[in-house]
Amino acid sequence: MKEKGCGPIMIRLSWHDAGVYSKGKLTGGCPNAAMRFTDGGEGAFGANAGLPDVAVGLLEEIATKYSNKISNADLWALAANVGIEVMGGPAIPTQFGRVDAASSAESVESQEGRLPDGDKGVDHLRDIFYPKGFDDKDIVALSGAHTVGGCHADRSGFEGDWTEDKLKFDNTYFTEMLQKEYVMGKASTGEPQYVHEASGTIMLISDLALPADDKFRPWVEKYAEDQDAYFADFTDAWVRLQENGVAELRKRL
Amino acid sequence: MLYLAAILSSGLVLPTANLRAAGRSSTAGSRAHVVAKWPWQSIAVDIKKDLYAFAKPQTLGPAASKQAQSSAHTLSHVGTGLR
């Protein structure tokens, strides 16, 4: 995983599997690996572009090897947590018990209102994350996962990496966000995004909305100064995200 | 030691009741010995070991290999998408 740099896409796979959960105006959703099915539902959501083919394909051999021992949804959660640790991040405890969807029909109805858009601001972030049980601190901590990976024009429409070492899980998302000066630009697709011209790193509108907001900014500053605090708060929020909507969890397989 | 670390970092700990049923102590010194004898414990560790290594070329699944070959992206590029 470390050699091939697959950690970030494993994080995205687990996040988008679990991130459909909501208990606000929209209800339901849970990590159930419904993205395995591409005839409709979550596997066909635009927000999930690249996940059913690339990420699920990367895990195919292990999923087959342990098919009668671990659900795909549990495997995806575990793979993300291994990826975070391999990239230098915190060791995340993994509980098991997620039940796989049997077909695309067990998907949520739409990505709208469940998964965030990178071209929107703080109101949108709160509209998406509050109904999942997260507060402002959690939103900032979870956004810090952008410290790894990058955007691809053929998936999200955005283009570029957030930090200068996209395979190192640390707090540089926050330090770079505060230290660098970004200018508004466009990806090759025309999507608006901020660019740091000297290094070529990017930030999305939803990223730079964080330090611009009075309630979010203190957490951005805290995590930029204190990586241990960031790791602790990220772990807390991330585990809750991975377990949202799961009826029965257990510590063992 | 790595084996034990992997078990502990997975949050996999034998319930005390089960340890008692097995006639074993739950002291830290005996934990690795006990865990090694319980098949359901080693499954998660085996999976985790495979996950650490899975991106090596010989362990890539066919779908990913096909994607990597047919795409203009390099494999490392394929693997770096958070969005």
Q: What is the pTM of this model?
A: 0.81
Identify how many contiguous H helices and E strands chain A contains and give both numbers.
9, 7
Six token digits for residue A72: 């795909």
Segment A234-244, tens digit of pLDDT: 999 999 999 99
Phi, psi of A161, rounded to the nearest 5 degrees? -105, 150
ipTM of the complex: 0.79
Residues of A in contact with B82 (CB under 8 A): 8-9, 11-12, 145-146, 148-151, 162
- Residues of chain B predicted below pLDDT 50: 1-38, 55-83
The answer to whether A55 and B79 are in contact (CB under 8 A) is no
Work out the average pLDDT over A158-173: 96
Q: For residue A2, what pLDDT is reported?
A: 55
Six token digits for residue B24: 């074993």
The answer to whether A213 and A120 are in contact (CB under 8 A) is no
Rounded to the nearest angstrom, the gap between the alpha carbon of residue A91 and the centroid of all alpha carbons in its chain is: 17
Work out the average pLDDT over A79-104: 95
Give the residue from B7, B31, B56, B82 with the most A CB atoms within 10 Å of its CB, the best one to mutate.
B82
DSSP E strand boundaries for A2-95: 22-23, 27-28
Tell if the CB–CB gap between B81 and A66 is shorter than 8 Å: no
DSSP lists the bridge partners of residue A202 as A195
Tell if the CB–CB gap between A57 and B67 is shorter than 8 Å: yes
Please choose, from the candidates A128, A147, A32, A136, the residue with its C-alpha nearest in 3D space to the C-alpha of residue A90. Answer: A147
Nearest Cβ partner for A4 among B51, B73, B76: B76
- Output Rg (C-alpha) for chain B, integer angstroms: 19
DSSP lists the bridge partners of residue A186 as A192
* β-pair type (A202-203, A192-195): antiparallel
Q: For residue A3, what pLDDT is reported?
A: 55
